[in-house]
């Protein structure tokens, strides 16, 4: 089969022929239809310090996908050939304390699809049945392909109650924009998102944020009077991983404010701990999705009318993978999707 593979330690990936994956008794073989490019894939392609420490080539990349079940192992009971599925890319041990307690997203031995084991940038991918999410309702294939990052957005946006609250989001990447759409759909009073990219701020406006703020030219406090915010924001969603963003968010929270942090920093972040203490702020780290509560919430949100399709801005065929990666790396895009059923997309 064709696969996009990191063949050697170093920059770049190659489209090569590799053997079809083997299917165990509890596994599901999936014919990949579309995949989304994640920041993790960009790190592996660039072969930065994190990738060099984490990835062992050869490796097929990719963990955001939608596909059709091609075959199932002998012990698979609830997934059937022909069904449309996405997959949870965090593979857990099933035996640690958190797994046994039903908190699989906290597994201490989690490994990543497309990071530690061959992933979905290929014509076929294999996943354990326990990691397969069957789409029971009609869904756009592009949206289904980005269920993994959509899950990050939902997990973060709903980490704290947002009904009637003023929500601040720092970082208007695709996940931040999807989180803004979720918070608005879930009843937030105001949703303000910040970034330095005019393209992505404009994309955020398309999903209905109250304000999209360029922090190069405006301060967060400048929006208080316009929106009628008296004491600061109630809920913060930090999506950028930038030290200045977390510090600005901490300064903008009301007493008792709650912050969910998804953005992964590349360096230590000093913050005003005195303010955290005296304002009694809560800071919660978010990683991935809750299995499978978040996945259920995603499907229900879409069934309830949430539309995230505007976040998907670029589509390529599998032969155009270099162009797809370049588009994703440029930042002037939302989510970038590769169609594995077509060599090129005009």
The residues carrying an active-site annotation are 40, 43
Is 99 annotated in a binding site? The answer is yes
Is 96 known to sit in a ligand binding site?
yes
| Annotated binding residue 5 | no
264 in a labelled binding site:
yes
Ligand-binding site membership of 333 (annotated)? no
Please report where in the chains the tokens 């022929």 appear, as a residue. Answer: 17
- 286 marked as part of a ligand binding site: yes
Is 107 labeled as ligand-binding?
yes
Q: Three-class SS string for the chain?
A: CEEEEECCCCCCCEEEECCCCCCCCCEEEEEEEEEECCHHHHHHHHCCHHHHHHCCCCEECCCEEEEEEEEECCCCCCCCCCCEEEECCEECCCCCHHHHCCCHHHCCCCEEECCCECCCCECEEEEEHHHEEECCCCCCHHHHHCHHHHHHHHHHHCCCCCCCCEEEEECCCHHHHHHHHHHHHCCCCEEEEEECCHHHHHHHHHCCCCEEEECCCCCHHHHHHHHCCCCCEEEEEECCCCHHHHHHHHHHEEEEEEEEECCCCCCCCCCCHHHHHHCCCEEEECCCCCCCHHHHHHHHHHHCCCCCHHHEEEEEEHHHHHHHHHHHHHCCCCEEEEECCCCCCC
Give Cβ neighbours of residue 213 (< 8 Å, ≥ 6 apart): 192, 193, 194, 195, 201, 220, 222, 223
* Sign of the C-alpha dihedral computed for residues 115, 117, 123 and 128 taken in this order: negative
> According to the annotation, is 262 in a ligand binding site?
yes
Angle at 134 between CA 120 and CA 74, to 5 degrees: 80
38 in a known ligand binding site: yes
Q: How many CA atoms lie within 13 A of 181 on its CB side?
A: 28
Please tell me whether 200 is known to bind a ligand. Answer: yes
Select from 124, 127, 123, 126 the least CA-distant residue to 341.
Answer: 123
- 136 annotated binding-site participant: no
Return binding residues for NAD(+): 175, 195, 200, 262-264, 286-287
Q: Give the residue numbers of the binding site for Zn(2+).
A: 38, 63-64, 93, 96, 99, 107
Binding site per annotation, positions: 38, 63-64, 93, 96, 99, 107, 175, 195, 200, 262-264, 286-287
């Amino acid at each position: 089969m064709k696969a996009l593979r990191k063949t050697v330690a170093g920059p770049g990936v190659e489209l090569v022929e590799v053997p079809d994956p083997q299917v165990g008794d509890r596994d599901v073989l999936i014919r990949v239809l579309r995949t989304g490019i994640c920041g993790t894939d960009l790190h592996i392609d660039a072969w930065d310090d994190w990738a060099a420490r984490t990835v062992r080539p050869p490796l097929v990349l990719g963990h955001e996908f939608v596909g059709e079940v091609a075959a199932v192992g002998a012990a698979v009971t609830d997934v059937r050939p022909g069904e449309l599925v996405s997959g949870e890319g965090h593979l857990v041990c099933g035996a640690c304390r958190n797994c046994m307690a039903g908190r699989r997203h906290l597994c201490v031995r989690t490994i990543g699809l497309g990071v530690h084991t061959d992933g979905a940038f290929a014509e076929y991918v294999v996943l354990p049945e326990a990691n397969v999410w069957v789409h029971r309702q009609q869904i756009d294939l592009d949206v289904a392909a980005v269920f993994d990052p959509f899950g990050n957005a939902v997990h973060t946006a709903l980490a704290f109650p947002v009904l009637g609250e003023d929500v601040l989001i720092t970082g208007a990447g695709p996940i931040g924009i999807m989180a803004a759409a979720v918070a608005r759909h879930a009843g937030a009073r105001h949703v303000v998102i910040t970034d330095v990219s005019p393209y992505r701020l404009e994309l955020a406006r398309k999903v209905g944020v109250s304000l999209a703020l360029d922090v190069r030219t405006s301060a967060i406090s400048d929006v208080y009077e316009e929106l009628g915010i008296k004491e600061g924001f109630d809920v913060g969603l930090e999506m950028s991983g930038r030290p200045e963003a977390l510090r600005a968010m901490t300064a903008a929270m009301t007493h008792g404010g709650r912050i969910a942090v998804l953005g992964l920093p590349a360096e230590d972040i000093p913050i005003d701990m005195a303010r955290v203490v005296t304002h009694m702020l809560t800071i919660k780290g978010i990683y991935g999705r809750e299995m499978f509560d978040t996945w259920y919430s995603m499907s229900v949100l879409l069934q309830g009318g949430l539309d995230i399709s505007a976040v998907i801005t670029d589509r390529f065929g599998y032969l155009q993978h270099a162009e797809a990666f370049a588009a994703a790396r440029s930042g002037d895009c939302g989510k970038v999707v590769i169609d594995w059923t077509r060599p090129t997309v005009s």
